[in-house]
Amino acid sequence: MRLSVLCAVAFIVSALPLRAEDTAVVRAADGFQLPVGPNGTGEGYYIARGYRPNGHLGEDWNGVHGGNTDLGDPVYAIASGYVMFARNYHVGWGNVVILRHAYYEGSTLKFCDSLYGHLLDFSVQEGEQVHRGQQIGRIGNNFGMYEAHLHFEMRKNLQIGMFRSSFARDFSNYFTPNEFVATHHACPNGNHMANIPINTYPPVAPPVVAGPHVESPVFGPPPAGAPPRFARVSPLPPPARVVPSSTPEPGSVEARIERSLESTTSFTSTPIPSGKHSAKPSTALAAASPPPSSSKKGSKAPAPIADAPATPAPLANKRTRQGQTPAPATANRPETETIESDPLLPAPTTTNVVPIQRSGSGFKVDRFGDMRGKGY
């Protein structure tokens, strides 16, 4: 009898599906930054379309020169986190990366997801841990479906994944991305280890949540010198080094470690992108570099590296003849709609914003119907 009961229990246990771990240990965020621009400041970019409840659920970040001039620009993790999703989702999305972050508000541990869409490619994989400022991909155009831009979302609800239409499209599930970054620029208890929930996305799409759909206006690049239409943030300072309470004895291990730390050149964790955004070589590093070896007979010193231009030159329009100024873009919408302001962004005016054409602008509405929500 006992043997039969044990066999039955073993059969039932073997029939149960194995469940993956529900938590992962990550470092809590010490602060948040924007996903584009040097050191996460957003410099050189603008919000072409902002977040609007029941409308556009994220922010479309585009280069200030417009068009595809930002194609291939680096995209950075906004904070330390865990890669929940990194795949080509096809249809209106293309390559998508979703990161999960743990952060403290006071003494309360909270969680959020950040989404990066339409990437040209990505350099992380699911289950990997990332740090703030790490390059995770490059700005893309969903394989030519749109003009190049980054679709960036911040989510409160950890169950949405790629099934946006199955959840309320409002502030109960979403943040305004740039405002969240500005208000969480520095977080307490940064780099403390924390358990985050994983495996929270449903395997199949839950029922669609019906609701209104609000159009979100699309704006062209601002004129030179215009203030940015997002909450400006400055680079986060490097983490403070812990100062020992007492002076170590000369010659001790602590003293040697102290001297090595003091002589170490400070650096940021943000990777230096290649190509048109390459930075000038550091003077301090150049001075510290040893001269090239001349032990080999007839060897020559390498030629000095020419300084890269401070800012990339704007791309010329192939259809514009030399000496001619291209005609400004016009809106293919009623005049009352072209100056419609996003309630969550400073109201644009016809003097500091040039609306772009709705048709052919690259910001298309999903032609596949729902497909997890309109307006990418």
Q: What type of residue is 122?
A: F
Q: Are 75 and 136 in contact (CB under 8 A)?
A: yes
282 occurs within a structural domain = no
Mean pLDDT, residues 183-192 taken together: 94
**Buried/exposed code over 52-78 (b: 16+ C-beta within 10 A; e: otherwise):** bbebbbbbbbbbbebbbbbebbbbbbb
Give the pLDDT confidence score for residue 198 in this predicted structure: 97
Within a domain: residue 38?
yes
Q: What are φ and ψ of residue 223, in 5° steps?
A: -65, 160
> Over the stretch 259-290, which tens digit does the pLDDT of each residue have?
555 554 443 444 444 444 443 444 443 444 44
Which residues does 220 contact at the CB level (< 8 Å), separation at least 6?
Answer: 48, 66, 329, 353, 354, 355, 356
Cβ contact 303:310 at 8 Å: no
- 190 near 31, Cβ under 8 Å? yes
Q: What is the pLDDT of residue 268?
A: 40
CATH number at residue 179: 2.70.70.10
- Whether residue 262 lies inside any domain: the answer is no
Residues ≥6 apart with Cβ < 8 Å to 24: 82, 127, 195, 196, 198
pLDDT in tens, 213-264: 888 888 888 887 777 767 666 666 555 444 444 555 555 555 555 555 555 4
Domain count, the chain: 1
Query: Domain for residue 322, yes or no?
Result: no
Residue 360: its pLDDT value, please?
Answer: 33
User: Does 102 have pLDDT greater than 80?
Assistant: yes
353 in Cβ contact with 219 (< 8 Å): yes
In a domain, 196, yes or no: yes
Tens of pLDDT, residues 340-361: 333 333 333 333 434 333 333 3
Q: What is the DSSP string of 8-73?
A: HHHHHHHHSPP---SEEEEEPPS----SSSGGGS-TTEEEEE---TTS--SEEEEETT-TTTTTT-
Does 347 reside within a domain? no
Q: Tell me if 43 is assigned to some domain.
A: yes
**What residue has token string 């390059």?**
135
Answer whether 364's CB lies under 8 Å from 92's CB. yes
Range(s) of the domain holding residue 34: 23-234+329-338
Q: Is residue 122 part of a domain?
A: yes
Mean pLDDT along residues 25-48: 95
